[in-house]
Amino acid sequence: MAAPWASASLLRPKLMETIDLVLIAAAALLGLAVWADHRRLARAMAPRPAPPRLDRYPSITVIHPVKDLDPDLDLNVRSALDSGYPGDVEHLFVFDDDREPGVPIVEKAIAEHRDSGRPGSAEICFCGQPPEGRTGKLNAMLLGIRRANGELIAFRDSDLRTDRDALRVMVETLLQTERAGSVFAPIVVSEPAQTLGDAYCAMLLNGLYTPAACGELIRRGGDLPFILGQFMAFTRRSLAAIDNLETMRGQLVDDLYIGQLIEQAGLRNVASTHPIRIIQYGLDPQRALHNFSRWMTFSRTGIPQWSFKLPIVLRAVASWVGLLASVACALTGHGLAALAFAALGAASVASVNALHNRTGCAPLRPRHWVSPAVIFGLAPFVFTRVYLLQSRMRWRGRTYSLDRGSRLASES
């Protein structure tokens, strides 16, 4: 009769094999979920057909809130003025005051535009400091609405570079989509990453937020319950339906909340088929981390829908599970399971890189491939700071006090 310890020693390898199989199956199931979601988002990012041309293009006022100095501001302004729009275009560049560093740059670009004889008028306006409960951007937008003469109104951030089709396709989409109250242009970080901080921002936008937005557009049949509003346009009727933004107070992220108001008014927020470029480069890790925290803060208040956030959360969870489980399995002698979980973590990172590449932007250099893993590694700490600790946020040269829900806090 075999000794009890002999029987136990025979059972131990079988138990180890069973545990390995269970762990490998768990890694495979989570990896399959990442793969299926990657396929879904990749299909959603496929180019969409452009809308047909209009018989008549209405006049439009493009309002440009400008604060501080963005990289290549002069080139961004010149691309805006040379819009190629077939109708009348009025550009209003809105600053706090004449001491802003971007004023002489914009003045020079406007003078060159006038001298060239190209169509479209442009002028500079000053809105002063925002009152309590209002961001500087919203303050500039409100002045622009009051000064605007166009039949349509658009808002454009100063860190964008557009070509001569972007504005036209936005207007065509807005006017030829049933119940459209607003249209926004999808954006991509287009410049090749020079630093690891640049790679973080490219992956965050091109590899995570843009695919999630494309997936949500497909899921909802072509619209969103919010606006990704770096470049957005409205009909006068839709702005009137939300009181021309006059009653908006307390919102840190204006464009996302405006989209919620548009939907509440029974109208749709639709996306243009023509992406535009956001110009960011030369970011150090600290500024990149600040951008990450800012985007998460905006998402908290402006994007309450978890259907948008789930693809991002799925990859973050897969990355963390892959890291922690591979280390635990290696330390406990489950070598094959450790390899399976390491492959899971690598797959979640590779998915983000591959989705970034589908935008058509410059692929990351090999030394920057690790950037999605760094984003996922930092995500729990940034989440904790934004949701539990953050009481102030600096944005565009201003520091805003926030309440516990990441909205503008009353200073009184």
206-230 pLDDT, tens digit each? 999 999 999 999 999 999 998 988 9
DSSP letter string, 263-288? HHTT-EEEE-SS-EEE------HHHH
Please tell me the predicted confidence (pLDDT) of residue 10. 46
**Ramachandran region of residue 63, left (φ > 0), alpha (ψ -120 to 50) or beta?**
beta
Helical axes 306-331 vs 371-384, angle rounded to 10°? 110
Q: Report the C-alpha gap between 352 and 346 in whole angstroms.
A: 10
Please tell me the predicted confidence (pLDDT) of residue 284. 84
Q: How far is CA 398 from CA 93, 254, 288, in A?
A: 19, 15, 18
Please tell me the predicted confidence (pLDDT) of residue 12. 55
Please tell me the predicted confidence (pLDDT) of residue 5. 46
Residue-range domain boundaries for the chain: 16-45+306-395, 60-283
Q: How far is CA 222 from CA 25, 142, 186, 269, in A?
A: 37, 28, 13, 9
* 60-283 fold: Spore Coat Polysaccharide Biosynthesis Protein SpsA; Chain A (3.90.550)
DSSP strand pairing (276-278 vs 187-189): parallel
Please tell me the predicted confidence (pLDDT) of residue 244. 92
Do residues 80 and 120 make contact, with C-beta atoms less than 8 angstroms apart?
no
Tell the residue number behind the tokens 């949701």, with chain if given: 387
Number of H-type helices and E-type strands within the chain: 13, 13
412 residues of the chain, pLDDT tens digit each: 445 544 445 445 665 677 878 888 999 999 999 999 999 999 999 999 999 999 999 999 999 999 988 889 999 999 999 999 999 999 999 999 999 999 999 999 999 999 998 999 999 999 999 988 888 999 999 999 999 999 999 999 999 999 999 999 999 999 999 999 999 999 898 888 888 888 888 898 999 999 999 999 999 999 999 898 899 999 999 999 999 998 888 887 888 889 999 999 999 999 999 999 998 888 888 888 888 888 888 888 778 778 888 999 999 999 999 999 999 999 988 888 899 999 999 999 999 999 999 988 888 888 888 889 988 998 899 889 888 888 888 877 788 888 888 788 765 3
The predicted model scores a pTM of 0.90
Please tell me the predicted confidence (pLDDT) of residue 13. 64
Please tell me the predicted confidence (pLDDT) of residue 8. 47
Q: Report the C-alpha gap between 26 and 177 in whole angstroms.
A: 44
Helix, strand, coil percentages for the chain (3-state, nearest 5): 55, 15, 35
Q: How far is CA 145 from CA 51, 79, 108, in A?
A: 27, 22, 24
Q: Report the C-alpha gap between 378 and 292 in whole angstroms.
A: 9
